[in-house]
Amino acid sequence: MAQNSLIIIIGIGGFFVILGIIGLFWGRKEESSWYSSITDHVDVREFLDHSPVRPEPNALRIGGRICLAVGIVVLLVALGFYLLGIQPT
């Protein structure tokens, strides 16, 4: 029973790490696609100054960092449980 609980904790941590990596790459892709072409923008100033700033790519990257941090913490907790021999309940 304890090993099954540990596997579940590792699975949750791994899910958050994968979700965080996806969020980071998705935010980077969104930002680069938004500022990639001058012909798609109405105003040249928007292309040159990146103004107004779109909050969506930054929000995706911040969310990715948070998910990555939570996943790493959960994986470290699972590693601590395993090394100390504590059985999660």
* 52 φψ region: left (φ > 0), alpha (ψ -120 to 50), beta (else): beta
Instruction: Please give the structure tokens belonging to residue 65.
Output: 């960092």
Judge whether 15 lies within some domain. Answer: yes
Q: What is the CA radius of gyration of the chain?
A: 20
Query: Of 64, 63, 55, whose CA–CA distance to 34 is shortest?
Result: 55
pLDDT recorded at residue 66: 95
Which residue range(s) make up the domain with 72? 2-84
Judge whether 89 lies within some domain. Answer: no
What does pTM read for this prediction?
0.75
Number of domains observed in the structure of the chain: 1
Instruction: Please give the structure tokens belonging to residue 81.
Output: 């449980």
pLDDT tens sequence for the chain (89 residues): 457 888 999 999 999 999 999 999 998 888 877 767 655 666 666 666 666 666 777 888 999 999 999 999 999 999 998 898 887 76
